[in-house]
Amino acid sequence: MSVELILSNLLNAPVLFFFLGVLAILVKSDLDFPAPLPKLFSLYLLLSIGFKGGVELAHSGLSIQIFKTLVAAMTVSAIIPIYSFFILRQKMDVPNAAGIAAAYGSVSAVTYIAATSFLARLEVPFSGHMVAAMALMESPAILAGVFLYRKFRSKAQQVHEESVSELVREAFFNGSVFLLIGSFLIGFITGAEGEAALKPFTNDLFKGILCLFLLDMGLVSARRFAQLKKLGRVPILFALLMPIPNAILGIMVAWFSGMNAGDALLFATLCASASYIAVPAALRLSVPEANPGVYVTMALAVTFPFNILVGLPIYLGVIRFLWP
């Protein structure tokens, strides 16, 4: 079943556009997007997925299950950086180990969006409140990474200090999290009326914008392939292998939390993903010694393609085996 899902996923239009972007760089095409457009695509996708999640929650209502899911999301997001940090510390210095740990405890909104598209194509139902879970998983990972850095850094690194209030503000109110939560709340408040009003914008355009965005992601990822040689073997192996145990942890938590199969896949995907937007923005002052060229390249050029190309079908194959 996993092989069939992998082949089906690879032949999906958004994924093929990702490959097209990679191919454009490999053949040295001049294909490119003007600078404002990729950011516009990103803002649209975040707004759309957040709004639709809020509308879904308005339809279903709040419940104990939703509360359990949100608590589980925040807990796992704080746990993943801890064991990731101590694995990385075997071969890396404290700042880079903390930076990578924060990135892999945090989440990729683009990977989440690809997972929702994957589920929609297979007609597997999932819950709108998973958007809230995604938004809440950003901040605990960032705070955990900074805590580990401050706990284990050397005396020479202690000159770099950022106030707790500034760190919390950056972690909870960076642009992607703010737009997600804001759109989610607007969708929840407006409900069916808002859904009807914005349907042409948030629904009909979604797949096309996703294809354009993944085309650009293919371009960006392929440009970073050249930097992989500079990272060395340890970061590349970590970026390639770590999504699997993180996804397994997510599946186990989803099982014990009582999530349905669709929500379990989204949760496992969030656990397996890595942030390359929110974390660099939050760590640029709080962990200045961490090299964003390392953890951004790991997340964007290795983990992101792995998840959207083969990770999603593998995770769903495991979930279909475990869920009745």
CA distances from 78 to 141, 181, 279 (A): 5, 19, 14
**pLDDT score, position 155:** 54
Residue with tokens 């879904």: 56
Which of these, 106, 116, 111, 108, lies nearest to 49 by C-alpha position? 116
Q: What is the dihedral of CA 253, 254, 258, 259, to 10 degrees?
A: 160
Distance of alpha carbon 197 from alpha carbon 179, whole angstroms:
19
Q: How does residue 163 score in pLDDT terms, banded at 50, 70 and 90?
A: low
Between 262 and 46, the higher pLDDT residue: 262
Q: What is the DSSP letter of 147?
A: H
- For residue 181, pLDDT over 60 is answered with yes
pTM above 0.85, yes or no: no
pLDDT at site 167: 60
Q: What pLDDT is stored for residue 171 in this prediction?
A: 59
Model pLDDT, residue 97: 94
- At residue 156, the pLDDT reads 47
Q: How many CA atoms lie within 13 A of 62 on its CB side?
A: 5
Phi, psi of 167 (to 5 degrees): -65, -45
* Count of other CB atoms within 10 angstroms of residue 3: 10
What is the C-alpha separation between 175 and 42, in angstroms, rounded?
11
Task: From 139, 168, 18, select the one nearest 70 (Cα to Cα).
Answer: 139
30-53 mean pLDDT:
87
Instruction: Tell me the C-alpha to C-alpha distance, in Å, between residue 63 and each of 30, 58, 129, 259, 320.
Output: 51, 11, 10, 12, 25
The two three-digit tokens of residue 145, written as one number: 């990474």
Give mean pLDDT, residues 96-124.
91
Domains in the chain, please, with CATH? Answer: 2-322 (1.20.1530.20)
Share of the chain above pLDDT 70, in %: 92
Question: Which has more confidence, 67 or 57?
Answer: 67
Upper half-sphere CA count for residue 67 (Cβ side, 13 Å)? 3
Q: Among the ranges 12-26, 50-64, 244-258, which has the highest mean pLDDT value?
A: 244-258
Query: Token pair of 288, please?
Result: 């200045």
